[in-house]
A and B are shown apart, each in its own frame.
Chain A
Amino acid sequence: MKVLEDLLYTKDHEWIKVEGNKAYIGVTDYAQDSLGDIVYVELPDIDDEFEMEDSFAVVESVKAAADIYIPVDGRVLEINEELEDDPSLVNEDPYENWMILVELEDKSQLDELMDHGEYEKFLEEEV
């Protein structure tokens, strides 16, 4: 499974890429592989506010629907509308195809997330 170096990760297989006070959020390669062919992505509205571990999106594969949880508190600045038209982009490249861009509320929450090394270890132990 592909894991990128400059991202932080959750145990639910979301990634977050921090850029100043903003961050891009998506699902990991492991998540897209476990889900299988993704046929539907439901994204939040711009300006929606979420608290850490709230479900902010739903990704559905042929077989099942999965909630996607936000790694930190945040307000939605942008959504990746391309995913609504072509959900399979998440399968093709889950890191390139982010789901939302948020404004961070509390950067100290990032300390609770895993870096790429920790996430790789977590994957090894879980799988």
Chain B
Amino acid sequence: MELKKTPLYDEHIKLGGKVVDYAGWALPVQYEGIMKEHEAVRSKAGIFDVTHMGEIIVKGKEALKYLQHIFTNDLSKLKKQQIMYTFMCYPDGGVVDDLLVYKIDEEEYMLVPNAANTDKDFKWMIDNKEGYNIILENVSNEIGEVALQGPLAEKILSELTKEDLSEIKPFYFKKDILVADTECLVSRTGYTGEDGFEIYTSLEGIKRVWNSILEVGEKYGVAPTGLGCRDTLRFEAGLPLYGHEISETISPLEGDQKFFVKLDKEDFIGKEALAKQNENLKRRVVGFELKGRGVPREEYEVYKNGNKIGHVTTGYFSPTLKKNIGMALIDSSEAEIGNEIEILIRKKPVKAEIINKRFYKR
């Protein structure tokens, strides 16, 4: 199958991007190098093409009631122009996807699912809309998106808009504002553990926004940044990635994301299974630091006293902390901070210690 290209494809090539297949999209894994790009986002700013992310609109009188039914978080307190992170679960508590919910109006919401899951999510949402007076629209192919992330993000973006960006607090957004003379929706969100913005606009407008940010951002040291450092950045910040820390078979509770599962909320899909699981959670995602030599990688087995207790879900040499760290899904009985475990690296057990998985805090 031919890979889908975003409107920024030619820009990525011009900038020396190493383009790979990511969920069916031709996107750069890196430009100059993952380490340098990672460092740019932590110290200055980086800009990511995230046009591949999905966008689904939910409209109608019963929009809130419907979203409360399919999502684990409680959207009843969400204000207009506010954003909430949530899970959408199967009846058995497994995760369909994790998403951002933008409340555009009382009867209109925009959902931002993972690129690889968008079609699956949309079908799931249609299959579960019976009895709700709502309209669902998958507008993923009409919207371009870039993420400007890093401590200098606000300074850079302020040069391209008359809006006072300091008014946009974390997990809030403004719609229909001009950025580089292009009508955009701008939210103070991201997936890097840094301050920053996600900017949505039309496919026609996204190139102008991208190029303008690189142009005015040059003096601030903004770098084009690829999917490679997007993953190392989110990982250091302890943020889960679908298919790794949460999945069809790893519930949000097992993924250590209980905060986003409101078990005291009215009924929602998966509630019964999750409530039951919550009484006796058998396994959980933890953070760990390797004490011996090696790099922990996804799927490596985790042991305690010779018994297998789980597997690594994500692992890296951390570019910021300069340590080999990872997240692992292990038996809850071994999940205590400070516990010594072993990671099997090429058949050799290497000592590791369980630590808080928010490895990096800004």
Contact = CB atoms under 8 A, between A and B. Distances in A.
Interface of A: 36-37, 39-40, 42, 58, 60-63, 65, 84
A65 B295 contact: yes
B295 A60 contact: yes
B317 A42 contact: no
8 contacts: A37-B33, A40-B324, A60-B295, A62-B232, A62-B316, A62-B319, A63-B29, A84-B293
B23 to A, nearest CB: 16
B37 to A, nearest CB: 10
Tell me which of B295, B319, B346 has the highest count of chain A C-beta atoms within 10 A of its own C-beta: B295
User: What secondary structure prevails in chain A residues at the interface with B?
Assistant: strand
Interface residues of B, number: 16
Given A37-B35, A62-B34, 6 more contacts: A36-B30, A40-B295, A42-B294, A60-B317, A61-B34, A62-B232
B207 interface: no
B112 to A, nearest CB: 25
B221 interface: no
Contacts of A58: 346
Interface in B218-236: 228, 232
B311 interface: no
Nearest to A65: B297
Which interface residue of A58, A61, A62, A65 has the most chain B CB atoms within 10 A?
A: A62
Contacts, number: 34
Given A62-B319, A63-B228, A40 B33 contact: no
B27 to A, nearest CB: 14
A21 B229 CA distance: 44
Nearest to A63: B228
B296 to A, nearest CB: 10
A22 to B, nearest CB: 27
A30 to B, nearest CB: 14
B294 A63 contact: no
Nearest to B317: A39
Interface string B315-332: 011010000100000000
Nearest to A58: B346
A75 B319 CA distance: 35
A61 B316 CA distance: 9
Nearest to A55: B346
Contacts of A42: 293-294, 346
B33 A36 contact: yes
B34 A37 contact: yes
Contact of B34 (A60, A63, A65, A84): A63
Contacts of A65: 295, 297
Nearest to B231: A63
Nearest to B18: A36
Interface in B53-85: none
A58 B294 CA distance: 10
A36 B34 contact: yes
A101 B30 CA distance: 33
Contacts of B346: 42, 58
B297 A62 contact: no
Interface in B7-34: 29-30, 33-34
A34 to B, nearest CB: 9
